[in-house]
Amino acid sequence: MEPSRLPAFLLGRVVKAAIVILAIVVCNFFLIHAAPGDPASIIAGQSGAADARFLAQLRAQFGLDQPLYVQLWLYLKGVLTLDLGFSHRQQMSVAALLWDRLPATLLLTGAAFVFALVIGVSMGALAARRVGTWSDSLITVLALAFYATPLFWVGLMLVLLFSVTLEWLPSFGMASVGVEMSGLAAVLDVGEHLILPGLTLGLFYVAVYARLTRATMLEVADQDFVKTARAKGVPEGRILRRHILRNALLPVITFAGIQAGQLIGGSILVETVFAWPGIGRLAFEALLARDYQVLMGVFFLTSVMVVLFNLITDLLYAIVDPRVEVSR
Amino acid sequence: MTRLLTVENLTVGLPRGADRPNAVENLSLHLDAGEILCVVGESGSGKSITANTVMGLLPKGLPVKSGRITVEGESLLDLSAEELRERRGARMAMVFQEPMTALNPLMRVGDQIAEALAVHGKGGEAKARVPELLEAVNLPDPAAIARMHPFRLSGGQRQRVMIAMALALEPALLIADEPTTALDVTTQMQILHLIREIQQRKGMGVMFITHDFGVVAEIADRVAVMQHGRVVEEGSAAEILNAPKHPYTRALIAAVPHGAASDRPPIRPAPVLEMKGVTKTYQRGGWFGARAVVKAVHDADFVLNKGETLGLVGESGSGKSTLARCVVRLVEPEQGEILFHGADLRPLSRQGWLPYRRRIQMVFQDPYGSLNPRRSVGRAITEGPITHGVPPAEARARALELLRLVRLDESAMDRYPHEFSGGQRQRIGLARALAMQPELLIADEPVSALDVSVQAQVLDLLAEIRQRLGLTMLFITHDLRVAAQICDRIAVMQRGAIVEQGPTAEVFGAPRHPYTRALLDSIPGRGWTPPVLTESA
Q: What is the pLDDT of residues B226-245, one digit of tens each?
A: 998 899 999 999 999 988 99
Q: Are residues A68 and A116 in the same domain?
A: no
**Does position B259 have pLDDT exceeding 70, yes or no?**
no
B402 in contact with A, Cβ within 8 Å: no
Write out the H or E segment, with its range, that includes residue B32: strand B22-32
Q: Are residues A186 and A75 in the same domain?
A: no
* B263: confidence class by pLDDT, cuts 50, 70, 90: low
Query: B268-289: buried (b, 16+ CB within 10 Å) or exposed (e) per residue?
Result: eeeebbbbeebbbeeeeeeeee
- Give the pLDDT of residue B536: 46
Domain-ending residue, one of A76, A93, A110: A93
A241 in contact with B, Cβ within 8 Å: no
Q: Are residues A108 and A76 in the same domain?
A: no
- Please report the number of interchain residue pairs, chain A to chain B, with beta-carbon separation below 8 angstroms: 89
Whether residues A231 and B105 touch (CB distance < 8 A) is answered with: no
Q: Please state the pTM of the whole predicted model.
A: 0.78
**Does position B284 have pLDDT exceeding 80, yes or no?**
no
Beta bridge pairs of residue B32: B3
Residue A199 domain flag? yes
Domain-ending residue, one of A93, A125, A154: A93
Q: Give the number of domains in chain A.
A: 2
Residue A305 domain flag? no
Q: Are B58 and B64 in contact (CB under 8 A)?
A: yes
- Nearest-CA residue of chain A relative to B174? A231
* CB-nearest partner of A225 from B86, B102, B288: B102
Which is higher by pLDDT, A5 or B62?
A: B62
Considering only CB atoms, which chain B residues are within 8 Å of A247? 104-106
> Taking each helix axis from N to C terminus, what angle separates A39-47 and A52-62, rounded to the nearest 10 degrees?
140
Q: What is the pLDDT of residues B286-298, one digit of tens each?
A: 555 556 677 888 8
Q: What is the pLDDT of residues B379-397, one digit of tens each?
A: 999 998 998 888 999 999 9
The 10 Å Cβ neighbour count of residue B262 is: 10
**Does position A6 have pLDDT exceeding 80, yes or no?**
no
Q: Are residues A216 and A196 in the same domain?
A: yes
Domain-ending residue, one of A75, A93, A111: A93
- Give the pLDDT of residue B114: 93
- Give the pLDDT of residue B233: 92
- Nearest-CA residue of chain B relative to A237? B119
Q: Are residues A86 and A102 in the same domain?
A: no
Q: What is the DSSP letter of B268?
A: P
Residue A293 domain flag? no
Per the structure, the complete domain to which residue A33 belongs is given by 3-93
Q: Are residues A88 and A101 in the same domain?
A: no
Residue A229 domain flag? yes
Residue A114 domain flag? yes
Q: Are residues A147 and A182 in the same domain?
A: yes
Helix (H, G, I), strand (E, B) or coil at A318: helix
Write the CATH number for A232.
1.10.3720.10
**Does position A161 have pLDDT exceeding 60, yes or no?**
yes
CA A305 to chain centre: 8
Q: Are residues A10 and A135 in the same domain?
A: no
* Average pLDDT of the residues in B14-25: 81
Q: Are residues A239 and A122 in the same domain?
A: yes
Q: What is the pLDDT of residues A310-320, one digit of tens each?
A: 888 888 887 78
Q: Are residues A108 and A84 in the same domain?
A: no
- Nearest-CA residue of chain B relative to A16? B287
**Does position A175 have pLDDT exceeding 80, yes or no?**
no
CA-based nearest distance B241→chain A, Å: 32
Residue A295 domain flag? no
* Average pLDDT of the residues in A253-268: 80
Beta bridge pairs of residue B64: B12
* Average pLDDT of the residues in B424-442: 89
Q: Which range has the worst mean pLDDT, A96-100, A285-289, B193-197, B277-281?
A: A285-289
Q: Are residues A54 and A118 in the same domain?
A: no
B303 in contact with A, Cβ within 8 Å: no
Whether residues A323 and B149 touch (CB distance < 8 A) is answered with: yes
Q: Are residues A206 and A146 in the same domain?
A: yes
- Give the pLDDT of residue B265: 67
* Average pLDDT of the residues in B475-492: 89
- Give the pLDDT of residue B537: 41
**Does position A153 have pLDDT exceeding 70, yes or no?**
yes
- Give the pLDDT of residue B7: 92
Q: What is the DSSP letter of B24?
A: E
Reduce the secondary structure of B315-337 to three states and give it as a string.
CCCCCHHHHHHHHCCCCCCCEEE
Residue A315 domain flag? no
Residue A44 domain flag? yes
Measured between alpha carbons, how far is residue A20 from residues A16, A23, A25 in Å? 6, 5, 9
* A122: confidence class by pLDDT, cuts 50, 70, 90: very high
